[in-house]
Structure 1
Amino acid sequence: MTDTQYDNIPPGPGWQPAYIKKSRGAGFWVAVGLASFFFLCTLLLFMLFIGSLVLSKALITSTATKGKKQAAETVIEGSGESKVAIIPVKGILSNESAEGLFIEKPSIVEVVKQHLEQATCDTHVKAILLEVDSPGGGITASDIIYNQIIKFKAETQKKVVVYMQDIAASGGYYVSAAADAIVAHPTTITGSIGVIMPLINVAELINRYGIKDNSIASGNLKEIGSPLKQMTADEAAVLKNIIDEMYMQFVKVVSTGRNLDIEAVKKIADGRIYTGKQALENGLVDQLGYLEDAIGLTKKLAGLTEATIVRYEEHYGLADLFGLMSRKLFHNNTIRLDISQLQERGDTRPMYLWNGYSKRE
């Protein structure tokens, strides 16, 4: 059969000329797009993981060789070699770090300590201005910060001034009492000198529903403060003695810091809060004013006519993020996710805290 005869044979079913390409459907391209997306995401996560391990090691090495991380200095105003360092003391006072899933920030106690150490080592810093905006917090945290300030003053002979912002109550006032002078904003809420130990009792509620507490204790006072049983007179007396001791410590701190008689402090230390004006009338602050007034007073006490005002600030970059992420998730080369860290826990310990404070998000 000749070539011409082959050319005349009709094509079979489904036959298409070679030059006609079969078109791709929409589903094909969607599948390709999704596959590419997931591949790139996997690659990115892998790179982040490797980067976090490398940067974490670099951070540890850097910390060991160069010392602790220095706070960033933001210039507020002024000029000259002499500096006044503004150190913020804000939020609930605690010596526990703020932990999240990937980020762990140091406690306010540790931050203040680092800032004071930085100001101690910097010979250009001639005085400190503490910006206090806190309702207080833990007794131990408040006392540690207070003693860090006292130690700073003793070692450096540098002046410390407090500028109270919205709230400087209870533990917030406790740490303020360490300063050489206190300036309160006209709208400041301060005072709340006293101790509180939050205790919730649900004994009647659980009894109503037939729930029984079968805890076994080694002594009559072992279950003191338990929310599942009614408090006895002996238990109340024990807790009251503890509260009174912590209260007198607070009173002595105020008496020493404000140069007031113990009995005079007791009269105003009944737990009530004061406005800035009321605090001034009761000798708890030295003057009312704004930030510029506090800066002016700080410079005056330090004998400065000219100074650069800087604020210490904690900045967290990508290196910190990666380092903290790796330490959080891959401690000792083992993945760990502590779900309990994501839960809020009640606090029943004695506190220098103004309970009227509402936590701001």
Structure 2
Amino acid sequence: MARSGSPVARGAVAVGAAVLAACLAATGTTAAAGAGSSTGPDEPVTTPLRIITYNTDAQLEPEAALHDLAVIMRRDPDIITLQEMASPAKRAAVRATYVDCDGCVWGTNMPGPPVPGETPILYRADRFELKASGSVQVTEPTYVGPAGAGPSTINAKYVNWVRLLDRESGRPVYVLNNHAVPSVQGRSGGPNRHFPKRLEIFRTHMDGLQDLVRGITENHWGLVFVTGDLNVNFRRDEVLAPAMFPYRKLGDVGLQASYEALSEPTIGTHTLRSGNDTRLIDYVYFLPRKPLQPSGQRVMRGLSSDHRPLLVDFDVKVSGTVGATGD
């Protein structure tokens, strides 16, 4: 497929995809006693996996962001992906509280510079072994003008990723976290043709994300999750399915949104200034595979951001190599 965007952006994605592919070597397995559960002698042994994604709102002070994260932690997630975390103070507070302290059980891919650091990934280090991680630039900084949400110049967009080994299931787990450019969806639910530069950024981001996912799915085996604030309302995207929007773009590489696999929640993950709170723009996409079954989801209320966290549960079949000699 021909790629859009400038040669610099295309080159950055190509290099990033090559680096990611080089890091995605086959993952060894580690024995883990007592992992998972079974409903009967003929049922597969499974272990639960909980993922929460949350846009923390760039305007939130570190104290408010930490309070929200503490609420999320009480839900016992295994993986947390965040957006709008460019503030060095917010990221430092999260690291000090959950990653770098004595007795902390969380690991992270949290790049230091503010722009790639905007979308960190947290994972339970007592459950997962980090095998590789990185940050891939998929777009360039672009002036879009004052109209629309966000700044007049949209920063470069990065996809932060991790490759983990799940000690409980024995399976590789890939997580790719995103925050897409806003104001790309029109009132009808299709692309907002009033903002062509924003649409070009979005298209380039989705193309780059497709390349990264293909680099995993065509060359490696494992559980694949794409998360984040994609700024497109699933309720309309599923109906209209524009070629450049997530339902089609991520569907083309085999991914499925939790909203499609389970159901569309009544409340949304984002509240507009008008008070409309039904939009589903924050996502957990996953690659449907036999060992992975989505089992539930909920939109969490009562936090400080204009977004609401999306919590998605999965059941993961425990590999035969966990506590055994073969798969």
Q: Which has the higher helix share?
A: 1
Q: Which has the higher strand share?
A: 2
| TM-score over 0.5 for the pair | no
Largest Rg, 1 or 2 = 1
Q: Larger relative CO (CA 8 A, sep 6+): 1 or 2?
A: 1
With structure 2 as the length reference, what TM-score do the two structures score? Answer: 0.28
With structure 1 as the length reference, what TM-score do the two structures score? Answer: 0.26
